[in-house]
Amino acid sequence: ANSLAAAWRLLRGLSEEQRRYERRLVLEHPAFAPLCQWLLRDARRLARGDLVFSLHALVSLGVPQSTLLVQTLLRVCQEKLNQLDNRCLSVLATALIGLEKDQNVSALQAGLRLLVEQRIPHIRDIFILQNLMKCIGKDAPVSLKRKLEKAVLKDVDHLTFLNAQRVFFALVAINYCSIPILNACSEKIMENIHDAPFRQLILILEACRDLQYRNIKLFSGVANYVTSTVCLWDKRQIILLLSTFEALGFQPTELMDIFAEKVTEDPEFLNLKYLLIILRVYSQLNYLPRGQKQLFIETLHSCLNKYLPNISSMELLKAVYSLCILGYLPHPALDQLLQKENLDELQSGDLYKDQKDMMLQCVKACVELDSPTFTKPALVLAEDFSSSVSFNHRKAREALLELLGDENMFRENVQLLHKYHIDFEIRVDSERKKVLPVTATDDQADSSVERLAFLFVPLSAFCIGMMHPQGMLAVKKRHLTKLGYEVVMVINKKFQEMTNEDAVEFLKGKIYSRSAFPFSEANVQSSN
């Protein structure tokens, strides 16, 4: 057992490539096979610590799970499960994480869950707890997850920086978003952020994404730390960090400004992969750097033009789509994208079909509506009306009926050109003092009439902690404005939580006021 553990420890600190080479040397060593034979013969006589450490070392060294040796050790662990102390349970749990589910692994995991449930009140070691959490898996009963949560919270004040990270990853392993634990871990990470390796910061942010945990202080802290030490980081690291923030919907504006400056100063480092990531980040977060918007976007456009001869149709679509979201039409790339062979390739096959159709639809809308020659149409045609009311919009409809007194005073589920959809359309006089009746045929533009487009959207459509719309919502708002609408965006979850009386007053304020935003930034932050 000591020999196997020593072999694994020697390999543990190596790079992946070195580890593969050294692992092969260990497995092919002439003494390794006799050692495994001895272990197989005497498995049932091993002390409990030697048993679990041998299993862990063999799994880590890459000995196949299907071998008689590994399967024998798994069966012996089942027989001795009740004899294992908490430390041995922790090692066993770590070994099982690296194994595929089979009859012996499943039986061990089931037994381990029962044993952990009995012992949780007596386990005080965070390291052991987080290992056990990883092993019980995402399909563990919620009751067991809550018991583990209580056990961690008992010792949460004594968390170390390293354990705080481990607990983050353990919660991902069981798919359990414990806000009290995550808040405590976030505070510990913030206190020691200057000691955190870059890779750990990325893993922590990815864990937040997987758990759908939104902590503005943590995200801002990481962004501010990297911004203040930006000269220490490689450009590739900053790209990875920005990409992770984009997946979270968090907009680190100062860091994005600094990085945009680096791009404009030295665009040569941008290969196609990095270019597509940067385009996606800035477009989805709907942000262009202050003071250098045109220079930045023209630099990205110039880089894209270099890759046009060899770019794939899907990569081309992604690049054009991102630039269109930012309100910029890259004409050489657009011309290439709209060639018949590229469109045929994109529209063939079912892989990512919905995503490609959505992106192409957005590009076509931008080509028409963002063109410098576009003027607001005298006639805005609604392609389709639907009398059905979504369950999410029933409350709004009832509030509008109570407020306006007649369903002829508003439209619902309005479908416009380019598949744009409005939840409710209301028309008011230019002074916003009187609501005017609408009919399906009353589409003629009139300077004395203002059209209000009410959009009930999820909070996730905005950047975290801000009333700043992300990607597609920003494009929709821009295009509806060009079509002659004043857009009122309502956070649906907030609206549904209102009483009926408050909902009526809220809509009254939006209809008879020129304020386009329904909730203050402070309210959004507190809700997060």
How confident is the prediction for the chain on average, in pLDDT? 85
CA–CA dist 255, 470 (Å, integer): 18
Residue 371 is classified by DSSP as S
Return the sign of the alpha-carbon dihedral for residues 44, 48, 51, 52.
positive
Sorted by sequence, the CB contacts under 8 Å of residue 436 that are 6+ apart come out as: 409, 427, 428, 429, 449
The domain segmentation of the chain, as residue ranges, is 394-512
Tell me what pLDDT residue 387 has. 53
Crossing angle (nearest 10°) for helices 68-79 and 103-119: 30
CA–CA dist 503, 490 (Å, integer): 11
| The two structure tokens encoding residue 492 | 């649906």
- Partners of 427 in beta bridges: 436, 451
How many Cβ atoms from other residues are within 10 Å of residue 10's Cβ? 12
Predicted confidence (pLDDT) per residue in 333-347, tens digit:
999 988 888 888 888
pTM: 0.82
Residue matched to tokens 């007649």? 406
Task: Name which of 204, 299, 283, 208 is nearest 251 in CA terms.
Answer: 283
In the chain, % of residues over pLDDT 90? 34
Ranked by mean pLDDT, the top range of 142-146, 174-178, 284-288, 384-388 is: 284-288
First to last CA, the chain: 49
Secondary structure element (H or E) that encloses residue 384, with its range: strand 384-385
| The two structure tokens encoding residue 169 | 């990853």
In the chain, % of residues over pLDDT 70? 92
The residue among 525 and 455 whose pLDDT is bigger is 455
Sorted by sequence, the CB contacts under 8 Å of residue 435 that are 6+ apart come out as: 404, 409, 410, 426, 427, 428, 511
The residue among 245 and 25 whose pLDDT is bigger is 245
Residue matched to tokens 């923030």? 245
Question: How many residues are given for the chain?
Answer: 528
